[in-house]
Amino acid sequence: MELVATPHSPPDSRAWRIRIGSLLVPLAHAAGMNVVTMLGLRFLTDSLAISAGVAGTIFAAVKIYDGLLDPAVGAWSDRFRSNWGRRLPFLFAGGLAMPLGLALLFGTPSFESLLLAELFVALALAIHATGFTLLTIPGFAMVVEASADHHERTRLMAWRVYGNSAGTMLGTTLPGWLLASTGATRSGHFVMALVIGAIVLAATLAAVWLLRDAPRTSSGEAAKERYSLARQARLAWANRPFRLLAFAHIFLLFGTAAGSAGMAYFSRYVLKAGDGWLGSYFLVATIANLVTTPAWVWLSRTIGKKACYMSAMAIYGAMHLLWLSAHEGESQILLGLRAAVIGTAAAGMILCAYSLLSDAVRHDFIQSGERREGAFAGFTTLFDKLSAAIALAAMGWFLAAMGYVASSSGAAAAQSESAVLAVRLCVSVVPALALLCAIFSITTYDLDPASLEDA
């Protein structure tokens, strides 16, 4: 049985459980991921004295491992059978692994050898990233298979956006405030990791309980064969709408990853503001994200998802470019307005990106008659992680090349003008150029949503 809701048939209690469960899954993984995206690189360079280039390489290596794991987990979840259904066991395991990875990363013990510290960090990041994979792929696949109505999938994607926004708020706001209270020490980072990890675990357990009676099968057949990674790649490439959206997704995630990671450095070395300001900045951006999501849902139905997506990316890129003119002592009102507009644009990007991707996956089902949502979800998160890996690695190498100095104090170290310029470029020009490339990537996208409701 598929979940189909229309404006004239209010959802029943089961539908509401599915929607709230669909919200809690991205809340969990967004909270757990954003704290690492925002503070992970800076923690390695400013608290563990790992050079920016090596830190970026560690992040890239782990992301590549995790990205290659994604299609395998997606295909496995398509075929998996248990009393919990196909997806829930993966969610449960991910909800355990992510908090463990957080605690290990931000609780990295003191080693006499810097190499041992680097290896320990890589292991912690691998555990954390594996948990993220186990949460994201089944969560996305469950939404795609829940309804044949593309408008209902957009509504479910909106609930995912709400959850992602709430998780982003928790994963970016709480850490800054906690570090402002405890100090950006290693013990302060560990306490912060325990708090965020507890939120991830609680949200995941609640989601598993709420989604226990979500549709476990739907019309069509499960994938009949075990696809190799190469076979899955060919299937994804053959789906033209998915292929175009994937290219856009890579550029989008590259820009947003660089912007988020760079902001932790930007607030410290350009604005000369504390971590409390960093938390407040992301709070404003996330509130704007949450408040404006319904408007983006309406706009996507009015002008179309593609136009809505391109508009949101243009606004996001333009606003990040304005960080070039930011300076120490700048008006807090102006900074808040920038944060609000960036958060507003991010809401539109997230909603339209995943709604369009769900349409492309639905297109595959109509063409093939097989349920391969997990495999496509695996490739979606593969693109997410590879683009984030490239962004963080490139950022680390760029900072190192521009003379960024690593430290073990946890506080701001003296940096050269060229290093500060590199930080500024990472939060302005880099995201703007990446989003411009994403816009060009989907100019020829032409999938008709009406063609997706026939099955």
Instruction: Spell out the residues 6+ positions from residue 114 whose beta carbon is closer than 8 angstroms to its own.
Output: 49, 50
Distance of CA 167 to the CA centre of its chain: 10
Name the H helices within 369-428.
373-401, 417-426
Q: Can you give the pLDDT at residue 357? A: 81
| 119 within domain boundaries | yes
Could you tell me the two tokens for 50? 């790992």
- Interval 91-150: pLDDT, tens: 899 999 999 999 999 999 989 899 999 999 999 999 999 999 888 877 777 766 655 555
Strand partners, 221: 370
| 423 within domain boundaries | yes
| 221 within domain boundaries | no
- The list of the chain residues with pLDDT below 50 reads 1-10, 218-224, 455
* Structural domain count, the chain: 1
| 382 within domain boundaries | yes
SS3 of 267, please? helix
Distance CA 51, CA 399 (A): 9
Could you tell me the two tokens for 78? 């398509």
| 3 within domain boundaries | no
Taking the complete model, does pTM exceed 0.75, yes or no? yes
Distance CA 423, CA 270 (A): 8
Distance CA 212, CA 246 (A): 31
Distance CA 393, CA 396 (A): 5
Q: Can you give the pLDDT at residue 1? A: 34
| 6 within domain boundaries | no
Distance CA 6, CA 298 (A): 15
| 193 within domain boundaries | yes
Q: Can you give the pLDDT at residue 346? A: 92
Beta strands in 150-299 (DSSP E): 221-222
Q: Can you give the pLDDT at residue 66? A: 81
- Nearest CA among 160, 138, 34 for reference residue 92: 138
Amino acid at 113: S
Beta strands in 188-245 (DSSP E): 221-222
CATH code of 385's domain: 1.20.1250.20
Q: Can you give the pLDDT at residue 365? A: 74
Enter the DSSP assignment of 9.
B
- Interval 252-288: pLDDT, tens: 989 998 888 899 899 999 999 888 898 999 899 989 9
Q: Can you give the pLDDT at residue 313? A: 96
| 2 within domain boundaries | no
Q: Can you give the pLDDT at residue 145? A: 62
Domain residues for the domain of 113 are: 14-216+227-452
Using the CB atoms, write b or e for 204-220: b if 16+ within 10 Å. bbbbbebbeebbbebeb
